[in-house]
Amino acid sequence: MPVSFFDDDEERIDAEEEVTEKRRPGRRKSGARKSKERKPKERKPRKEREPKEHKPRGGGPTFGQSPLARVLIILVAVVVLVLITSLGIKSCLNSKRVGEYRDYFAAVDGVVKDSDAIGAQLSDMFMKPDETVRQSLEGKLGEFQASSDQILERAKAVKAPDQFKKENEWFVASMQIRARGLKGLQPAMLNALEARDNQAGAAQVSHEMLILLTSDVSYDEFYYQPAQQVLKDEDITDIKVPQAKFLKDPALASQQTAVSVLDRLKGGTTQVSGLHGVSLVGVKAKPSGMTLAADSDNSLKASDSLTFEVEVENQGEATESDVLVALTLTAPGRPTPQKVDGRIPTIAPGERRTIELTGLAADAGGQPALLRAEVGPVPGEANTQNNVGEYKIAFS
């Protein structure tokens, strides 16, 4: 095979490339010999330059990283913390204040209830002045006076919150008025029982009873209502100011009542002088206000708690005490008659008084019911024909 001089040149070029490869350190040897033919490099198309975004020079911090923002965040946090703390303190103070109010009125309520209990016993004695009352009168009045003095000391010891300092003075004053009235009532009653003239003795007894009645007025006007207003202004609805009532009926303080009481105590229940008698004036249904007619049917709305107002007149010459007023309802569907009653403490000659009775029940039905009203009779009453009234009622 003929040898070409090109073969020598190729061998020489390969030897030089091998020496060059060995002299280059760290160059990884190729597992395959490169192609002896060198291909021309292809030119890539030139890329169009895209416009670069202009960034702000300096690379400043964002809002949350700036000193001003940090100061504002701290201020906001401080304000929120102060608000939360103040609200918590205010809530604690309000709870403490309401607790003081509740304790205060609980103490007032205990004093008032014990004092009212004395007034209730005294009222019962005046409403039923029988021989038993006459025998125990002096001792009972002494007990009332001693108990009232102790109650007054309890009232003085009650510690009132600052918001009720002024009103509390009237609370104590009301208890003081009661103690004063009971202190004067005992000698007035005993002297009146010894005197022959009931009118003179009754005037003094009535004077002391009016003092006791004044305690209710002063308590209501200058303590109860102003204290209620304070609670209303402070938007406190779960605390109630105790109410007070010493005499069951204001008429017990009248001179006519005192005359009748003295007359009964001196002669007992058997002594009756002059003309005595009460009459039924009429019956009014509530809340409609309709006056019942005895000679025709009456229409009322059925209810589980009917209320009627009975008017009574004293047609005699003497003051009457403890006058009985009764209502009896016989209604269809209720075979057992229902009855409610009450008593008028005192009623002077020619005077008209009303009493409200409730608790009767009636269902709607086709047949009318019958309501019977009866007043008295009082001791010594001869004519009782005008003491009773009957009314037909159709309930719907």
> Structure pTM?
0.56
H or E segment to which residue 156 belongs: helix 131-157
pLDDT in tens, the chain (396 residues): 444 544 555 555 555 555 555 555 554 444 444 444 555 555 555 555 555 555 555 555 555 567 777 777 777 777 776 666 655 555 555 677 888 999 999 999 999 999 999 999 999 998 888 878 888 898 999 999 999 999 999 999 999 999 999 999 999 999 999 999 999 999 999 999 888 778 888 899 999 999 999 999 999 999 999 999 999 999 998 899 999 999 988 888 988 888 888 888 887 444 444 678 899 999 998 888 889 888 888 888 888 888 999 999 998 887 888 888 999 988 877 778 889 999 888 888 889 999 999 988 888 877 888 889 999 888 877 778 889 999 998 888
Phi, psi of 237 (to 5 degrees): -110, -10
Between CA 140 and CA 115 the distance in angstroms is 14
> 335: number of CA atoms within 13 Å, CB side?
0
The string of DSSP codes covering 372-393 is EEEE-PPTTB---GGGEEEEEE
Neighbours of 29 (CB within 10 A): 7
How far is Cα 3 from Cα 67, in angstroms, rounded to an integer? Answer: 88
CA-CA distance, 187 to 107, in Å (whole number)?
Answer: 32
Distance between CA 360 and CA 299 in Å, rounded?
16
The token pair at 253 is: 């303080």
